[in-house]
Structure 1
Amino acid sequence: MFKCFVLCSVLLFGVLIGMQQANQGMIKMRGYDDPELQSAFQINNEQKGDIEASILGNKVTGQDLQEKQEQLEKIEAFNFFSQIGKQFAAVVSNGVSALVDSFAEWMNNLLK
């Protein structure tokens, strides 16, 4: 699941970079800067020292990220299907280990 999350994150980041490159290509092709063309993501430093980010025209703030993190922590407190999956994986792992051990013992006895 972690590998899937990392892969999706990398692909999403690649899509955003591709959109940014396409935007820069459109600006170069037109030969002038059109204010209606928005880039895929923008980072602006304000006078107060705050950083303002915008992804696909939606503003992202640190407070939004903290709220989303708290919401995810509440959701991940207990996941029924995750617990069932962990138990199933443990049963399968133990079963396969027992089969391999018994097969190795049988082969060892057979070769003696």
Structure 2
Amino acid sequence: MVKFAFKCFVLCSVLFFGVLIGMQQANEGMIKMKGYNDPELQGAFQVENKQTGDVQASILGNKITSQDLKGKQEKLEQIEAFNIFSQIGKQIATIVSNSVAAFLESIAGWINELVR
């Protein structure tokens, strides 16, 4: 299950970055087709280094800064939401894991009795 989730994550990441690269290539093609650089045509992904040493990125025109990410992380830590479905899922997983382990141990014991 973990391998499947990892493969899906990698595949989605590759496809996402492929779309961004395709949009960037389309933007460059439009600039070449126009024959001049139009300041209103922005790239899909831009990274800017400021004089203060900060790095600012923008994806599809939305600016992303490290301060935004820190603020969002602090907000998530403050929420500390309790998800009842997550807790129920964890309990069911524990029960199923323990029951399967007990079942396999009993089968292994039964096979050992037959072999002796």
With the shorter chain as reference, the TM-score category is 0.7 to 0.9
What is the distance in 2 between the residues matched to 1:5 and 1:64?
Answer: 27
What is the distance in 2 between the residues matched to 1:83 and 1:76?
Answer: 14
SS in 2 for 1:32: coil
What is the distance in 2 between the residues matched to 1:14 and 1:85?
Answer: 35
C-alpha change, 1:9 and 1:66, in structure 2 (3 Å) is: farther
C-alpha change, 1:12 and 1:63, in structure 2 (3 Å) is: same
* Offset from partner CA, 1:23-76 (integer Å, 9 cap, x none): 233334444323222111111222333322211111122221111111222344
* Offset from partner CA, 1:82-110 (integer Å, 9 cap, x none): 22222111111111111111112112222
Select 1:57's aligned residue among 55, 61, 76: 61
C-alpha change, 1:46 and 1:72, in structure 2 (3 Å) is: same
What is the distance in 2 between the residues matched to 1:70 and 1:57?
Answer: 24
TM-score by length of structure 2 reads: 0.72
State the number of aligned residues. Answer: 112
1:27 matched residue in structure 2: 31
What is the distance in 1 between the residues matched to 2:77 and 2:19?
Answer: 27
SS in 2 for 1:59: strand
